[in-house]
Every structure is written in C-alpha cells, then in structure tokens.
Amino acid sequence: MDRSHDDFLRDAAARFGTPVYLYDLTRITAQVTELREAFPTARIHYAVKANASGAVLRHIASLGLGAEALTIGELERSLRAGFPAANILLGGPGITPELAQRALMAGVGVVSLDGEGAYDAFKQVMGRPGAPTVSAPPRFLVRLNPGFDPHTHEHLATAAPTSKFGVPMQEAERLAERVAADGGLAGFHVHAGSMLRDAEVASMVVRSLEPLYERFQGLELVDVGGGFAVPGAPLEAFAAEYAAFAQRFGVTPIVEPGRVVVAEAGVLLTRVLHVKGSAPRHVIADAGMADLLRPALYGAEHPVRVVGAKAEQKGVTTDHGAEHPVRVVGATADQPAVTTDVDGPLCENADRLAQGVQLGEVAAGDLLSVGQAGAYGFAMASNYASSLRAAEAVWDGEELRLARRRETPEDLWRLET
C-alpha cells in the first residue's frame, strides 16, 4: 500500500479510535462486477451472515443483488436495507413457525428447506386459522447433503457426510415429492462449503444434483451455494461447471457469495499495546478474538502489517491450502524480521490475530492493519470478557464516515432486567 493510503488508515484510526473495522464500498462494487462477469446468467444472493453492517447491506442492495438470510434478524436487516422481499432467499437449519410466518408476510421469494422440519414449519403457518394471505407464495428448494469432501477445513465443509446441513439423497427425494405435490418445488440446493478453491468441487456439486434433476422434470432453479475462497478463487472455472448444468436442465442458477464480496474490502485497525519476548516475540494489540474470531475458531490466517512500514514479498504462507505472499514488514539491515505472534488482550491462549508472522521493528503505539477482515469479522464479534465491540466505518470513494459507533460499558447491561 502506498503512503497516501497509510495516511488514510492513520486518519481513520485517529478519528474513530481502535479497534475499528473499515470497509471500502468501492471495492465491494468491484467485487460485485467481477461476480456478474463470471456468472452472467445467475441470480446472485449476497450471504448476509458474512457482513450484516447496515451500511454494507444498503450498498449491496443498491447494486441490485439479492440477499440470502438465515435468521429473523438477517431477514429484518435485509428488508430494512432495501432488498425487495421477492429477491430474498431464506434458508438455514433453524426455520421456525415464527420465522416462516414473517417470511410469508414479507413476501420472501425463495426458501431453501434444510429438511422436513423446515417445511413443516411453513405448512403449520399456512394451515392456521387466520394465516397470512399470500398473493405469491414462496418457491421452495430442497437442500441436499451430498456427503463428499469439499477440500476445505472440517468446520467449513458443509457437504461432508457428517455435516448438519441438508438431507441425504433418499430424504431429499421424499421431501421433494411432498413439496411438488403441493405445487411449490422450484429446485434443489447444494452448498459444498467455505474457502473453496478447487474447481473440482463444482463438478462434484453438479454430479450430486444430476439424479434429482433427471427425476424431477420442469424445475426452475438450481442453488449451487457460494463459499468461494479469498483470495484468488477460480470463479470462471466454478461458473463454467454451473452454467453447463443449468443450460442442460433449463434452470436458472443461484449463487450465494458472501466472503468474496466483502472480505478484501475490509480491514481491522488495531493499536499495539505492548511488545515482549523474543522467540517468538509477542505483540499485544487492543483487538483480539472478541473482535476477530476466525484465527482462534479455525486457524484462519489474515495478513498483518505495520501501517506506514515498507513491505517486501518473502515466500508464501497457507490458509487451508491457499498460497499468500508473506509480508516482511519494517525489516531493515539494522532491524531484521522477527518471528512474531500478534496477540489480543484477553486471558485466553487462543486470543491471537496471527502466529509466526515476520515483522520488523514494532513498538507500543504502532498501528496494525489486519487484512481480508471484511467477512466474518465484526459478524462474529462478541462481548466475551465484557469486551466492547469495535466501531465500524465505511469509505464510499469520497467520504469516510462512521457506520456503527463503538460500544460503551453501558451497552453491556442495557438489556438486563
């Protein structure tokens, strides 16, 4: 990054304090353009769980994407942000009669059924006396668990045999017959997992779906999920597999990208509190697992650098098989790079932002930038140890503005009775 950009980051930290999440809306626009070019015939539904910031959602809605929501909160956020209800896809394993009723009242367009219980919830609501009158009832997808290895971390492998998502083939067929008898079956859904980098996974997805589309004729949609890795997923290779399948069966593909839309548009800015030790050196920052859980949850790796320090490329590191440049930051002949753990402030040994990274000179008060933090960063933040959740800010190409204020201690007990 050039100096002008680093000055911008320093200005943001000075204005909003640290830790702070900063999202570049212009980068989100560019990512959406890339997705549309890769998937020109698909319906693109942004996975709200990746980043549900109101400012981010409003921007994505303004670009004309649909939304994919899993909970009542995500549904309400999507509607509030301006996504048309007909362009919202509701899914997930936790559909209740209350959520089904709200979806029907709002006019949600498509529902992915994770199993029989989800359809039962909708049938229960639709069969009640005084049930909401729906001019255009939702179309239903049945989510298949194909039971294959999607070549990613076990916590991210939603198509694995042990995954809790979807149902096996025979159950999927039974549920589809039931939905089709009611006139509501639109197609099937497979979401293989997250951080997908191997395009062979797309081939496995379509092979698992072929028997269902051969048996059930005249369907409208196929939902192939999202989960594309950041950085550098081969979108065109995935898209080619899905487009060929869709053309063969005369259906419209749906993709549900989340991470690829927002991850690289976001950074987490955090201030160094203390530096101690030497092998490894421990840099204690004011952000940690309460702010960015991914490293502690499944060993995710985020690029970390000292804002204002020069960086040179040295080798590669991996995030579940992905190759990234290692940034040796601030290293000079007088101050060689040092193996460093960037740690958070909490009393947990898992409270790390990065381990074993190569950093040059770093001191208390320095500003660190944690990259690829726009997805599943603030979305997974918590008040563990009564931590105060960070502020969020956005840049729209012209103006830097606060999108969510930093929490105060009073916010911790505001809902207590």
Residue 388: is it exposed, middle or buried by C-beta count within 10 angstroms (0-12/13-18/19+)?
middle
Half-sphere exposure of 341 (CA within 13 A, CB side): 18
With 60 as the cut, is the pLDDT of residue 50 above it? yes
Per-residue pLDDT at 30 exceeds 70: yes
Nearest residue to 341 via CA among 408, 405, 409, 280: 280
pLDDT more than 90, % of the chain:
75
Residues 294 and 319: beta-carbon distance below 8 Å: no
The structure tokens listed for 391 are 């502020």
**Contact 89/65 with Cβ under 8 angstroms?**
no
What's the number of CA atoms in the CB half-sphere (13 Å) around residue 339?
A: 5
Q: Averaged over 326-340, what is the pLDDT? A: 57
Cα–Cα distances in angstroms (integers) from residue 6 to residues 2, 9, 29, 310, in the given order = 7, 5, 22, 11
pLDDT 10s digits, 249-298: 999 999 999 999 999 999 999 999 999 988 789 999 999 999 999 999 98
Q: Which superfamily does CATH assign the domain made up of 25-259 to? A: Alanine racemase (3.20.20.10)
d(CA 222, CA 207): 13
- Residue ranges matching CATH 3.20.20.10 in the chain: 25-259
Interval 74-109: pLDDT, tens: 999 999 999 999 999 999 999 999 999 999 999 999
Cα Dmax for the chain: 78
CA-wise closest residue to 372 among 11, 7, 50, 4: 50
Active-site residue identified among 181, 333, 347, 415: 347
The sign one gets for the Cα dihedral 202, 204, 208, 210 is positive
Q: What is the pTM of this model?
A: 0.90
What are the start-end ranges of the E strands in 184-244?
Answer: 185-189, 221-223
Question: 330, 361 in Cβ contact below 8 A?
Answer: yes
CA distances to 47, 96, 240, 372 from 223, in Å: 13, 22, 15, 26
E strand or H helix at 235: helix 235-249
Positive or negative CA dihedral for 37, 38, 40, 44?
A: negative
pLDDT of residue 322: 35
Per-residue pLDDT tens over the stretch 167-224: 989 999 999 999 999 999 999 999 887 777 888 888 889 999 999 999 999 999 999 9
Pure H helices in 250-346: 259-262, 294-298
Residues in the chain: 417
pLDDT tens for residues 143-155?
A: 998 866 665 556 5
| CATH 2.40.37.10 residue spans of the chain | 3-22+263-412
Using DSSP bridges, classify how beta strands 266-276 and 367-370 pair: parallel, antiparallel or unpaired.
antiparallel
Annotation says 347 is catalytic:
yes
Sign of CA dihedral 92, 94, 95, 98: negative
CATH class of 3-22+263-412: mainly beta
Q: What gap in Å lies between CA 175 and CA 194, rounded to an integer?
A: 26
CA distance 7 to 179: 57
59 vs 128, residue with greater confidence: 59
- Asked if 328 contacts 337 with a C-beta cutoff of 8 angstroms, the reply is yes
Residue 316 pLDDT > 50: no
Q: Token pair of 328, please?
A: 């040796």
Neighbouring C-beta atoms of residue 355, cutoff 10 Å: 14
Instruction: Please tell me the distance from the alpha carbon of residue 306 to that of residue 308, in angstroms, as a whole number.
Output: 6
Query: Does position 156 have pLDDT exceeding 90, yes or no?
Result: no
Q: What is the rounded CA–CA span in Å between residue 317 and residue 301?
A: 9
What would the pLDDT profile of 384-415 be if each residue is shown by its tens digit?
A: 999 999 999 999 999 999 999 999 999 999 99
CA atoms 315, 317, 321, 322: torsion sign: negative
3-state secondary structure string, 340-400? EEEECCCCCCCCEEEEEEEECCCCCCCEEEECCCCCCCHHHCCCHHHCCCCEEEEECCCCE
